[in-house]
Amino acid sequence: MNDLKFAFRQLLKNPGFTMVAVLTLALCIGANVVIFAVVDSVLVRPLPFRDPDRLVTTINAYPKAGVPRSGSSLPNYYDRRSAIAAFEKTAAIRSSTAIVGEVGSPRRVQIERVSPEFFATLGVVPARGRFFTEEETENARSRVVVLADAYWRAHFNADPNVIGREMRVDGLNAIIVGVLPPKFHYLSSRAQLYFPLASDPEERGVKSRHSNNLQILARLRPGVTLATAQVQIDALNAQQLADDPYAELVKGTGYRTGVFSLHADHVQQIRPTILLLQGGVLALFLIGGVNLANLVLIRASARAKEFAVRQALGAGRWQVARISLLETILLALAGGVFGLAIGNAGIRMLTVLGIDRLPLGADVALTGRVALMALAASTLAGVALALPMTCFSLRGQLALALQTESRGGTVSFAVQRLRHAFIVGQVALAFMLLVGAGLLGRSLQSVLAVSPGFQPGHVLTGQLVLPWNNYREPLQRLAFIERLLGELRGQPGVTFAGINTAMPLSGNADNNATVIEDHVRQPGESLQAHYTAGSAGEYWQAMSVPLREGRLLEPADNHRDQRVCVVDEDFAKRYWPKGGALGRRIANDPEFKADEAFTIVGVVGRVKHSELGDTLAQGAVYYPYRHYASLGFYLVVRTAMAPEAFAATLRKTVLRLDPELPLDDLRPMQARIDESLIPRRSPTLLAVIFAVVALALAAIGTYGVLAYAVAQRRREIGVRMALGALPRQIRQQFLRVGMRLLVAGLALGSFGAWGVVRAMKSVLYEVGAMPLGVVAATAGVMIVVVLLACWLPGRRAARVDPMEALRYE
């Protein structure tokens, strides 16, 4: 306890050193807390279900058709739950929306349609009431609902007698049969209501086997592995080819079904980026640790006489080491506590970067595990910082240590060499971080330079989902759309108005197989899937999508007997590279039927559907809405005013035509583009922040070591200048030392940068194997900053007054 008190007093006696050390540790630990909280939430923390490691999902894939992932189908669910012995329970889920509320003030909420075993598969029991029965799932007209806990509390005041009450959903009454436990949600879903996944026998038939519009999850039996389940799935798929009406086409697409861990599959796209960020902040932590190690060594040199006197008076080596250890641990723990505060603030700021839009990102928080890891890392850092200080304080002879503190003593060459090695390591790590940030910045710049294929300025978009009960027939839906578009065209400031069932960059797109008349597939060529949508009104004019050839779809195309369509230039070039797409006929079906074929009347420019960085020329087909009459679609309005100014008018227009129909997801098109860039922009911003901090720490570390060398060699500098050395020569001496350290650091960092480029290859867009421009620019920044950190101590050394330096001799 006495040693602890003494260590505390020593830190208080040196407030400058203490503040710098604590702040450096706090910044480095705070950055690690922020990223580790993301890693813990997204990658490490088990899913909040019973035995989560046994939960799996099955994903259909048609790789040769350009569809590497396609979910699963309703027939898949019924087949696999009975035929796959490896699955203890099997369930299906489909995300959707529903309209709740009264006439005149409707609102849309997120819902999930689930099979009867869904909650049992996850190991969830109802807080009140019950879940769904098999009969309610097989009856397409079943109207029962289970409430999420938050919805029950917000809209029913946590009424304990809510079971059996009715609520209005999509214009019909639904009976409440259950309430979910608090905080339950499935993966990243924020559904407020759950309904049975009801279906008709036709939807469960063999012809719908490849209509992949839901997710299947299953629970493995105890002791069963993923490999065993995969073998059984492969065997079932091979067996089902015998009665598959599209067997030959399916085999040509490379059809297979993968069995994956539910957790790993859900986060697999964001996993590489998060791990790269974690590696970056660990490098930042090392840079901060190296910086502090240099400061501690400098302080140990200043206290060498004190430690020598203690040993001369009888103190044991452990007693001296304990003083150093307690000081560094106190520093590290203080830095850890402040780092937790910085990390907590950083986690809160992550919402600004859109972290809640990442898989499981809404659960990111400063948990006890994250805090414990931060404090443990702080303690280990404190022990590590004490090692070099203790080693060099105790290894030498007492007489030599006492001489070092005299006027004629010089610093140990071994200590000086270690400090220089630390600087080289700092420069190398900072260079690697800067290269990583530069690569992400270059990638983001390349993505931003990509044209989305349309002009987003002055475009307002919103989503409408028509309730099936009121709009059962395609002609009913078309009539509503035509009335709505007519009303919008009459509004002041509206230039163009149209609808499309798939909005670019919204994550909502259909991939359908398309057959071309008289197109003979070459050996090994597969049937291809293309983006498919239904359109009406002036969709292309509103989006400013260029017309390459022919004409656009017209309102009359929704009423003519002749079936026509428009394709994009990727589609046209794929099948007719020399031109001639106009007049060709295609079918939105695995088989070509002449009476259901569509004639191509126009070719439009390519539009980026999934993301700006998408390099796959998938191709797109646009049909008149009547022939692709999805209940859900997007309104697109080009206005002469700011899009936000027209939002209220657009809502009122929709409610005037149908008081029970809310308009959702109302945003300017530019906002959709910005949101689609969040997975690229946010990591880039974080990487740049960490790289700048790392560069500052490396510069401060270099400056600190050289500045101490100037102060320590003040007498030597004075003697040399008294003997005729010029200030320029003194300055150049220290610059040469800094240059040697800089070159060594850049050389070592270049090897690390090569590894960084390879590790980041999967998350970069249009960045070369070794982008010399980024590396050269990064090296230039490092050279300028580090040389400035060397020049300042050199300048101070050159201004030493010989008389003042020799005054005490």
Q: Which of 802, 808, 807 is nearest to 719 (CA)?
A: 802
| Number of domains the chain contains | 4
Residue 545: band (very low, low, confident or very high) from pLDDT cuts 50, 70, 90: very high
Q: Does 652 reside within a domain?
A: no
Per-residue model confidence as pLDDT tens digits over 84-106: 999 999 999 998 888 887 777 78
**By three-state DSSP, how is residue 624 classified?**
strand
Examine the pLDDT at 398 and tell me if it is beyond 60: no
Q: What pLDDT, on a 0 to 100 scale, did the predictor assign at position 86?
A: 94
For 241, phi then psi, to 5°, come to -60, -25
Q: Does 265 reside within a domain?
A: no
Per-residue model confidence as pLDDT tens digits over 308-360: 666 666 565 666 667 777 878 888 888 889 999 999 998 888 877 778 878 88
Q: 157 or 407: whose pLDDT is higher?
A: 157
Q: Does 388 reside within a domain?
A: yes
Say yes or no: 431 and 285 in one domain: no
Q: What pLDDT, on a 0 to 100 scale, did the predictor assign at position 319?
A: 67
Side chain identity, residue 496: F
Q: Does 451 reside within a domain?
A: no
Say yes or no: 68 and 182 in one domain: yes
Per-residue model confidence as pLDDT tens digits over 667-722: 999 999 988 888 888 888 888 888 888 888 888 877 777 776 676 666 677 777 77
**Which residues, at least 6 apart from 121, have a Cβ–Cβ distance to it below 8 Å?**
55, 89, 90, 91, 217, 218, 219
The mean pLDDT of 12-37, rounded to a whole number, is 84
Look up residue 585 and give its two tokens.
């006929």
Contact 566, 559 (CB under 8 A): no
The mean pLDDT of 581-585, rounded to a whole number, is 92
**Which residue, of 615, 640, 665, is where some domain finishes?**
640
**Which residue, of 222, 254, 286, is where some domain finishes?**
254
Q: 303 or 170: whose pLDDT is higher?
A: 170
Q: Does 659 reside within a domain?
A: no
Say yes or no: 92 and 158 in one domain: yes
The mean pLDDT of 364-393, rounded to a whole number, is 83
**Which residues, at least 6 apart from 422, have a Cβ–Cβ distance to it below 8 Å?**
290, 291, 293, 294, 701, 705
Q: 201 or 570: whose pLDDT is higher?
A: 570
Residue 232: domain span: 63-254
Say yes or no: 624 and 703 in one domain: no
Task: State CA 363 to chain mean position distance.
Answer: 14
Q: What pLDDT, on a 0 to 100 scale, did the predictor assign at position 738?
A: 79
Say yes or no: 605 and 691 in one domain: no
Q: What pLDDT, on a 0 to 100 scale, did the predictor assign at position 317?
A: 63
User: What residue ranges in 39-154 does DSSP mark as E strands?
Assistant: 55-61, 87-100, 107-114, 128-129, 144-147
User: What residue ranges in 615-679 does DSSP mark as E strands?
Assistant: 620-624, 632-639, 664-668
Question: 537-570 burial, b if ≥16 CB within 10 A, otherwise e?
Answer: bbbbbbbbbeeebbebbeeebbeeeebbbbbbbb
Residue 302: band (very low, low, confident or very high) from pLDDT cuts 50, 70, 90: low
Q: Does 654 reside within a domain?
A: no
Say yes or no: 632 and 510 in one domain: yes
Count Cβ atoms within 10 A of the Cβ of residue 85 and give its class: 0-12 exposed, 13-18 middle, 19 or more buried.
Answer: exposed
Examine the pLDDT at 408 and tell me if it is beyond 60: no
Strands 172-179, 166-169: pairing is: antiparallel
**Which residue, of 254, 284, 303, is where some domain finishes?**
254
Q: Does 53 reside within a domain?
A: no
Element (H, E) at 188: none
Say yes or no: 146 and 176 in one domain: yes
Say yes or no: 623 and 563 in one domain: yes
Examine the pLDDT at 403 and tell me if it is beyond 60: no
Residue 161: band (very low, low, confident or very high) from pLDDT cuts 50, 70, 90: very high
Per-residue model confidence as pLDDT tens digits over 40-79: 999 999 999 999 999 999 999 988 888 888 889 999 999 9
Q: What pLDDT, on a 0 to 100 scale, did the predictor assign at position 304?
A: 58
Q: Does 453 reside within a domain?
A: no
Q: 780 or 297: whose pLDDT is higher?
A: 780
- Crossing angle of helices 304-312/317-349, nearest 10°? 140
Say yes or no: 720 and 571 in one domain: no
Examine the pLDDT at 301 and tell me if it is beyond 70: no
The mean pLDDT of 375-403, rounded to a whole number, is 69
Q: What pLDDT, on a 0 to 100 scale, did the predictor assign at position 752?
A: 85
Across the chain, mean pLDDT equals 84
Say yes or no: 424 and 565 in one domain: no
Q: What pLDDT, on a 0 to 100 scale, did the predictor assign at position 407?
A: 44
The mean pLDDT of 242-265, rounded to a whole number, is 88
Residue 163: band (very low, low, confident or very high) from pLDDT cuts 50, 70, 90: very high
Examine the pLDDT at 412 and tell me if it is beyond 70: no
Residue 372: band (very low, low, confident or very high) from pLDDT cuts 50, 70, 90: very high
pTM of the model: 0.83
Residue 532 CA: distances (Å) to CA of 10, 514, 588, 624, 668: 72, 9, 9, 11, 23
Say yes or no: 403 and 429 in one domain: no
- In percent, the amount of the chain with pLDDT more than 70 equals 89
Say yes or no: 364 and 441 in one domain: no
